[in-house]
Amino acid sequence: MNRTRRILVVDDESSIRCLLSDVLSDRGFEVTQASDGQESLDQMEKNDFDLVITDIQMPRLDGISMLMKMDAAGRKEKVIVMTANPFEQRLSDNRPARVITRLLKPFQIKSFLDIVIAATANGTNSAIIEHQ
């Protein structure tokens, strides 16, 4: 029997967080929200997740710094990165293995769901899912 997949959605824009959380919850995922990288790390101390979906540009602790802290803590969650900046180079220059794709905002919800479903499928490793 398949267990419910746990997803952490991290974005400082509450409308995006809520929209993605609602879409994922409607598909049967268990979703937790965080408004920045620090809040997401706090959530990860309490819970394990199958997937983290995070924005890059956030106050307090941005997505790149969050990924670096996840590496330092030995976290193993797969990550989907969202960015509105098509020229964001910080991720391209040193892409952690757990980052499976980068979504450029705005994106289509169907494409988003296809990527999330592929990332959380049984037996899926951390291979990069191509999508730009």
Region of poorest pLDDT, from 10-19, 46-55, 92-101: 92-101
- What pLDDT does residue 127 have? 44
Tell me what the mean pLDDT of segment 22-44 comes to.
97
Of residues 61, 67, 65, the one with CA closest to residue 80: 67
**92 Cβ neighbours under 8 A, 6+ residues apart:** none
Per the rule left: phi > 0, alpha: psi between -120 and 50, beta: everything else, 28 is left
What architecture (CATH level 2) is domain 6-120? Answer: 3-Layer(aba) Sandwich (3.40)
The 10 Å Cβ neighbour count of residue 121 is 10
Q: Where are the domains of the chain?
A: 6-120
pLDDT at residue 36 in the model: 97
For residues 110 and 91, give the distance between their C-alpha atoms in angstroms, rounded to a whole number: 24
Residue 51, sorted as left (phi over 0), alpha (psi -120 to 50) or beta, turns out to be: beta
Threshold 0.85, pTM exceeds: yes
Instruction: Supply 108's token pair.
Output: 């289509």
C-alpha to C-alpha distance for 3 and 10, rounded to whole angstroms:
22
Which amino acid makes up residue 77? Answer: E
pLDDT at 3 (0 to 100): 85
